[in-house]
Amino acid sequence: MLHKQLKTRLKQITSSLVIAASVMASSVSGVANAEDIGWPEKEELKFGFIKLTDMAPLAIAYEKGYFEDEGLYVTLEAQANWKVLLDRVIDGQLDGAHMLAGQPLGATIGFGTQSHIITAFSMDLNGNGITVSNDIWAEMEKHIPQKDGKPVHPIKADYLKPVVDSYASAGKPFKMGMVFPVSTHNYELRYWLAAGGIHPGYYAPHKGDTSGQIDAQALLSVTPPPQMPATMEAGTIYGYCVGEPWNQQAVFKGIGVPVITDYEIWKNNPEKVFGVSKAWADENPNTHIRVVKAMIRAAMWLDANNNANRPEAVKILAKSSYVGADEDVIANSMTGTFEYEKGDKREVPDFNVFFRHNATYPYYSDAIWYLTQMRRWGQISEAKSDEWYKETAKKVYRPDIYAQAAKALIAEGKASLADFPEFATETGFKPPQTEFIDDVTFDGTKPNAYLEQFSIGLKGDTVL
Secondary structure of 276-315 as H, E, C letters: EEHHHHHHCHHHHHHHHHHHHHHHHHHHHHHHCCHHHHHH
Q: Are residues 297 and 323 both part of a single domain?
A: yes
Which pLDDT tens digits describe the chain residue by residue (464 residues)? 444 444 444 444 444 433 333 333 333 222 233 447 899 999 999 999 999 999 999 999 999 999 999 999 999 999 999 999 999 999 999 999 999 999 999 999 999 889 999 999 999 999 999 999 999 999 999 999 999 999 999 999 999 999 999 999 999 999 999 999 999 999 999 999 999 999 999 999 999 999 999 999 999 999 988 899 999 999 999 999 999 999 999 999 999 999 999 999 999 999 999 999 999 999 999 999 999 999 999 999 999 999 999 999 999 999 999 999 999 999 988 998 999 999 999 999 999 999 999 999 999 999 999 999 999 999 999 999 999 999 999 999 999 999 999 999 999 999 999 999 888 777 899 999 999 999 999 999 999 999 999 999 999 999 99
Please give the pLDDT value at position 425. 75
Distance from C-alpha of 352 to C-alpha of 96, rounded to nearest angstrom: 22
- The answer as to whether 175 is a domain residue is no
192 contacts 157 by C-beta, under 8 angstroms: yes
Q: Which helix (H) or strand (E) holds 370?
A: helix 364-376
CA dist 350 and 126 (Å) reads: 8
List, in sequence order, every residue forming a beta bridge with 233; answer none if it has no partner.
Answer: none
Q: 85 with 48: CB under 8 angstroms?
A: yes
Number of domains in the chain: 2
- Which stretches within 118-259 are classed as H helix? 134-140, 161-169, 184-195, 228-233, 246-253
Looking at the structure, do residues 1 and 21 belong to the same domain, yes or no?
A: yes
Closest by Cα among 149, 422, 103 to 274:
103
* Beta strands 272-277 and 150-151, pairing class: unpaired
Distance, CA of 285 to CA of 446 (rounded, Å): 32
**Rounded Cα gap, residues 303 and 312, in angstroms:** 12
Residues 4 and 26 in one domain: yes
Distance (Å, whole) CA 71 – CA 89? 21
Does a structural domain hold residue 340? yes
Write down the pLDDT at residue 38.
Answer: 93
Helices (H), 30-142: 56-63, 66-69, 82-90, 102-109, 134-140
What length is written for the chain? 464
CA distances from 178 to 116, 145, 368, 426, 429 (A): 24, 27, 21, 34, 28
- With respect to residue 60, please indicate whether it lies within any of the assigned structural domains: yes
Q: Report how far apart, in Å, the C-alpha atoms of 124 and of each of 94, 101, 155, 272 are.
A: 21, 10, 24, 6
Q: Which residues pair with 125 in a beta bridge?
A: 270, 353
Whether residues 113 and 256 share a domain: the answer is: yes
Residue 389 lies in a domain: yes
Neighbouring-strand partners of residue 222: 178
Q: Are residues 117 and 13 in the same domain?
A: no
- CB-based contact 195:156 (threshold 8 Å): yes
Q: Report which of 454, 371, 458, 461 is spatially closest to residue 194, judged by C-alpha positions.
A: 454
Range of the domain at 12: 1-33
Torsions phi, psi for 176 (to 5 deg): -135, 160
pLDDT at 155: 97
Residue 51 lies in a domain: yes
**Main-chain dihedrals φ then ψ at residue 233, nearest 5 degrees:** -60, -35
User: What are 276's strand-pairing partners?
Assistant: 118
Q: What are phi and psi of 361, to 5 degrees?
A: -80, 130
CATH code of the domain containing 414? 3.40.190.10
The per-residue pLDDT for 112 is 82
Q: Are residues 29 and 95 in the same domain?
A: no
Closest by alpha carbon to 125, among 273, 291, 347, 340?
273
The answer to whether 376 and 458 are in contact (CB under 8 A) is: yes
Helix, strand, or coil here: 63? Answer: helix
- How far apart are the C-alpha atoms of 245 and 40, rounded to whole Å? 35
Residue 262 sits in the same domain as residue 307: yes
In a domain, residue 440? The reply is: yes
Does 361 reside within a domain?
yes
What's the count of helices (H) and strands (E) in the chain, helices before strands?
19, 18
Instruction: Give yes or no: residues 21 and 69 share one domain.
Output: no
Q: 150 and 7 in one domain? A: no
Residue 221 lies in a domain: no
Residues 50 and 1 in one domain: no
- Global pTM reads 0.92
Do 292 and 121 contact (CB within 8 A), yes or no?
yes
Q: How many Cα atoms within 13 Å fall on the side-chain side of residue 353? A: 21
pLDDT at 406: 96
Q: Are residues 297 and 406 in the same domain?
A: yes
- β-partners of residue 132 are 239, 257
Residues 115 and 263 both lie in one domain: yes
